[in-house]
Amino acid sequence: MKFKKGIIFSLDGAIAVTVVLIMLINTTYYFTTTSKESLSQTQIIKRGYDVLAMFDYFEQLDNVMRVITPSDDFVPNTTINGLNVSNYLPNGYEMTVFLDDARKTACGGCVLDSANAITALFNIEGLNEGGNLYFQVNAQLTAQTTTNPSFSVRHNGIDYALTGVCLTGACTYTTTSPITGLISGSGNQIQFVRDGSNDFTINWFRVLDDSGYTLSTATTAPDDRFIGTGERWYAAFDSNGHFEGLHRARFSVWIA
Amino acid sequence: MDSINKKGILMTLGMVFVSLTILAFANVILNNSETSESRIKEFAETERLYNLDRSLSSSISRIMKYPLNNTHKISFDGNVIDFKTEFQNITENPEVEIMRQINITNERLKKQAYVNFSKNYPLFGKNGNIVIDSSLGNPNSTVFYVDQNKSIFVEYVSYPANMIFLAGINEGNVKKINFTYKSDFMEPLLILANMSEVFSGACANCIEFVFNNYYLGSLINRTSYNISSTDTPPSLSALPFGIPFGFVQFFDLRVAAPTWINENRTLAINWVNLTYLLTSDAEEGLAITLPDVLVYNLADPVKTFDFAYYGYGDPAVKRLIGDTKIELQIFLEGDALKHEGTLVGPLSYSIDIPLLDTSGEGLRIEYIDQG
Domain locations in chain A as residue ranges: 1-34, 39-102+214-255, 105-211
Which pLDDT belongs to residue A19?
A: 73
Q: Pick from B16, B43, B62: which is nearest to A235 by CB?
A: B62
Q: Please tell me which residue, A1 or A189, carries the higher pLDDT value.
A: A189
Q: Distance, in angstroms, between B335 CA and closest chain A CA?
A: 33
- Test A233 with B113 for CB contact under 8 angstroms: yes
Choosing among B9, B51, B58, B91, which should be mutated to test the A contact, i.e. which has the most A CBs within 10 A? Answer: B51
Asked if A246 lies within 8 A of B107 by C-beta distance, the reply is no
Q: Which residues of A touch B38 (CB under 8 A)?
A: none
Q: Which of B30, B67, B101 sits opposite A30 (nearest CB)?
A: B30
Reading chain B (371 residues) residue by residue, the pLDDT tens digits are: 566 677 778 887 887 788 788 778 877 877 887 777 777 777 777 888 888 888 888 888 888 777 776 677 888 888 888 988 877 655 666 777 888 888 888 888 877 766 766 656 667 776 666 655 555 566 677 888 887 667 788 888 776 667 788 888 888 889 999 999 999 888 898 898 888 888 888 888 899 999 999 999 999 999 999 988 755 544 443 333 333 456 677 888 888 877 766 666 778 888 877 665 545 555 788 888 765 433 333 343 333 334 433 333 444 444 556 678 899 999 988 776 666 667 777 666 666 554 444 444 433 334 333 33
How do residues A107-160 score in pLDDT, each as one tens digit?
887 899 999 989 888 889 889 999 999 999 999 988 888 877 889 999 999 999
Would you call A252 helix, strand, or coil by DSSP? strand
Sign (positive/negative) of CA torsion B33, B36, B40, B45? positive
CB-CB: which of B18, B34, B55 is closest to A233? Answer: B55
A53-109 pLDDT per residue, tens: 999 999 999 999 999 999 999 999 888 889 999 999 999 999 999 999 999 999 887
Whether the CB-CB separation of B177 and B158 falls below 8 Å is answered with: no
Q: Is B31 in the A-facing interface, judged by CB distances under 8 Å?
A: no
Who among A27, A174, A246 is closest to B29 (CB)? A27
Q: Taken in order A145, A148, A154, A158, is the CA torsion positive or negative?
A: negative
More confident residue, B53 or A192: A192
Is the pLDDT reported for residue A36 higher than 60? no
How far, in Å, CA of B129 to CA of B283, rounded? Answer: 10
Contacts by B104-107 with C-beta closer than 8 Å and gap 24+? B104/A134, B104/A163, B104/A174, B104/A176, B104/A245, B105/A245, B105/A246, B107/A134, B107/A178
| CA–CA min distance B24, chain A (Å) | 9
Residues 6+ apart with CB under 8 A from B24: none
Cβ within 8 Å of A, B 46-65? 47-48, 51-52, 54-56, 58-60, 62-63
B66 vs chain A: nearest CA distance in angstroms? 7
Mark out the alpha helices in chain B (DSSP H runs). 2-65, 92-112, 133-136
Would you call B32 and A246 a contact, using CB atoms and an 8 Å cutoff? no
Distances (CA, A) of B338 to B148, B282, B361: 11, 28, 19
Whole-angstrom distance, CA of residue B110 vs CA of residue A9: 65
Cross-chain Cβ contact A27/B22 below 8 Å: yes
Q: How many CB pairs under 8 A join A and B?
A: 145
* Residue B365: predicted pLDDT: 37
Is the CB of A19 less than 8 angstroms away from the CB of B19?
Answer: yes
Nearest-CA distance B209 → chain A (Å): 36
Q: Which residue among A24, A33, A46 places its CB closest to the CB of B37? A: A33
Structural class in CATH, domain A105-211: mainly beta
pLDDT tens profile B156-187: 877 666 778 888 888 888 999 999 999 988 88
Which residue type does B125 have? G
- Residue A66: the pLDDT is 92
Cα A125 from Cα A248, distance rounded (Å): 20
pLDDT band at A193 (very low <50, low <70, confident <90, very high): very high
Cβ-contact B179, B210 below 8 angstroms: yes
Of B47, B58, B98, the CB nearest to A243: B98
pLDDT at A180 (0 to 100): 94
Instruction: Search chain B and give the residue with CA nearest A148.
Output: B93
C-alpha–C-alpha distance, residues B171 and B232, integer Å: 13
- Local structure of residue A113 (DSSP, 8 states): B
DSSP reduced 3-state for B24? helix
Domain residue spans in chain B?
Answer: 74-343
Q: List CB contacts (< 8 A) between A241 and chain B.
A: 66-67
Residue B120 CA to its chain's centroid (Å) = 10
